[in-house]
Amino acid sequence: MIEKISFLFFLFISTCSFSQMKGVVHGVTNEKQDVLIGAKIRLLHAKIGVTTNEEGQFELILPKELPDTMVVTAFGYNPDTTIVTKEDRFIALEINLFSDKMMDEVIVTYKKGTHSISRLKTLHVEEIGEGELRKAACCNLSESFETNASVDVNITDAVSGAKKIQMMGLDGVYTQIQLENIPYLRGLESSFGLNSIPGTWIESIQITKGTGNVVNGYESMAGLVNLELKKPSEMERFYLNGFGSIYGRAELNMNAGHILNDKWSTGWFVHGSGMFGEMDNNRDGFRDVPKGNNLAFLNRWAYQGKKMEAQFGINSYLDIKNGGQIGFDRSANDGKYGVQIDSKHADLFAKTGFFLKKPRTSLGIVYNVKYQEVNAQFGNRTFDGLEKRGYINAIYDGYIGTTMHGIKLGASGIYVDMQQKADSLESNRVEVIPGIFGEYTYSGPRMSAVIGARGDYHNLFGFQFSPRVHTKFLLSEFTDLRLTAGKGWRVPNFMIDNVSLLANAKTWIVPAELLPEISWNFGGSIVHEFKLFKRKGTISTDFYHTLFENQLVVDRDANFNQIIFTNLSGKSYSNSFQTELSIEPLKNFEIRLAYKYLDVKAEYAGEMQQQVMIPKHRGFMNLGYITRNKRWEFNTTLSVFGTSRLPDIGVSNLPSESEVYPILNAQITHVFKRWDFYVGGENLTNFIQKNAIIDATNPFGNSFDATRIWGPIMGVNVYAGFRYSIKNKSKK
């Protein structure tokens, strides 16, 4: 396997010989240096140019005829001029422009794309900005992906309201989720944690397909999702968001950022929500969404000094859900089928960075301590879990010779004390996992590569080696090719990972020993930029193949009275293909179209079958328009899901495949000074899955099953809300 990776890498590195110049542009004002967004870099003779991105970086394709004169300009700064020769093809420039003492009354604005694929990064990273999150109700993390085609969010059952993400056709447990590069939604959080982070707290989301960097850990098997929260020094001085829907859901979010002095800043985040309505649109006698409350609080601090920087804070939430039959009350013993889920979470996090004497080198250390408790009841079946987790990751970031050859070295440590009990089954274990890693980055004119490997020792399962390779090739000025290959692994938590499967009468059968899940991921993508009506458009196509060496296989239809968990004895794989087109045919009118194909199979009883509840085909369309005066915003998203295989549960007259169905969401926002007012609708086609709960009239019988869920169980939902914000003066 490693030989295949090396062959692909050296094959493509030998084919790249184009000329390219990279660099970063800084603006210097009163001895302070900041990156410049939107600075222009032009070659006078060749008459070509580019602008810097939000990180102040640029890439410029050099013409054949050199030397040429390069001019760098930015509004409010004195221009700079230099001569570019053939010898400059293999260097990275750092350009400083000095302020021309721009008057305070002059305001420079820059329009940042709300959704993009970063062309500068070696890995395939899809970035969702704060503007994209405004296009939907987006009151928690599970709703942050409604206008995105790469990540699917699925309901796990018809009684608990729990949701899970899915990437490349694989369950969310195979996607590494991080909160600013700190592991998040792991262990007991994985099933119910998507409601724990309000969308109003999030600044941006980065989605990486395939295995991620070894620096981030060993668990990235299908991809990586990194959440960036609003920064204390850049966020609103005060922000308030209110939300309500016709189903009885109400939310209130408050953010506040304070710059204390030139070194210290702090941010406060408060969230409160409740589901107060008792809705039964499909009239099966069960609540479509559980009633309950969610309270969340986060406080973070940031320190910026000359020799070091630091961030630290606390994050906590309490989530209480009450579902089940209409009229169920947990305090009354009335014989009704009830669902109760109580989740408690608290964690402390910190990040420290030290600037070393050698320029562009640093040492960073990440710390995290977490406490998580989950207690759940599905009728007569119960789950109780308690988790204590500690995490530390130290990273040295430097280079060898020149900045074209970057290097990262580090060590990590994980401690997990997890106790789980589901009915009569128990799973208690203590994990201690020290690890070391190294990563080399090459940044050439036409090609970049990230080659890394890490070794981790698990106290219960021994040593695991994880190599990974990522490459990017600049085929032309407008076309990027990326290839990736690597290994990921994780220790399965079969109870909490599948806790929603308690919403039926089936007995769980588990093996005597659970082995670590191991996968190899191979794939690539092509991203091409073009001009349409003199406006930029982008088309991207990617394909990824995930092959499991070992996997915890969940067989739901081998035995009508059982759910059988087994270590993989045959084959299991996932093929994911996606193509996406993004264009702006008119000013401020954006169109995104996407198609996704998923071929996800595993061997059950010697036969390869498509995994259940995974549609093979999905179509996606997003339309967004902002009026010229920026007072009105319109957004519409349509997703069409194809058929998926359904588990055979031994009940006659049930279909073996789901239906093709659409989901249509739309929202209108009006901006008035510091206020935003928005109104929207979800599932406007009013599609509702029939028979979402099997044998709903006999919830304690052997045929009862609320886990055969593949579509929406709620009809049209209409919501409205407001946003009020006061900007920080320094960022106005």
Going by their DSSP bridges, the two strands 238-245 and 223-229 should be labelled as: unpaired
Cβ-contact 537, 583 below 8 angstroms? yes
What was the pLDDT predicted at 196? 84
- CB-based contact 467:504 (threshold 8 Å): no
| Residue 240 CB partners (closer than 8 Å, separation 6+) | 252, 253, 254, 722, 723, 724, 725
Instruction: Give, in degrees to the nearest 5, the angle at Cα 319 between 317 and 325.
Output: 175
Structure confidence at residue 400 (pLDDT): 94
The pLDDT value recorded for residue 89 is 66
In this structure, what token pair is assigned to residue 161?
Answer: 């309201």
Q: How is the chain split into domains, by residue range?
A: 20-98, 115-731
CA distance to 214, 331, 391, 413, per residue, from 176 (Å): 12, 38, 15, 17
Give me the pLDDT at residue 184, please: 92
CA 537 – CA 115 distance, rounded (Å): 12
3-state secondary structure of 261: coil
Fold of the 115-731 domain: Maltoporin; Chain A (2.40.170)
Question: Is it true that 20-98 and 115-731 share their CATH fold?
Answer: no
Q: Beta strand 552-555 with 562-567: parallel, antiparallel or unpaired?
A: antiparallel
Give the per-residue pLDDT at 75.
84
What would the pLDDT profile of 119-161 be if each residue is shown by its tens digit? 888 999 999 988 888 887 767 888 888 889 999 998 999 999 8
pLDDT of residue 13: 39
CA distance 399 to 409: 11
pLDDT tens for each residue of 675-687:
999 999 999 999 9
User: Coil, strand or helix: which one is 730?
Assistant: helix
For CA atoms 550, 711, 283, 291, give the dihedral sign: positive
Amino acid at 488: G
β-sheet bridge partners, residue 507: 562
Low-confidence stretches of the chain (pLDDT < 70) are: 1-19, 30-31, 89-91, 101-113, 138, 605, 729-732
Angstrom distance (rounded) from CA 451 to CA 724: 46
**CA 372 to each of CA 186, 217, 229: distance values in angstroms, whole numbers, following the listed order:** 10, 21, 21
**Homologous superfamily in CATH for domain 20-98:** Carboxypeptidase-like, regulatory domain (2.60.40.1120)
C-alpha distances in angstroms, 428 versus 189, 347, 385, 386, 418?
Answer: 16, 21, 9, 10, 6
From residue 651, alpha-carbon distances to 557, 655, 656, 688, 694 in Å are 11, 10, 11, 21, 9
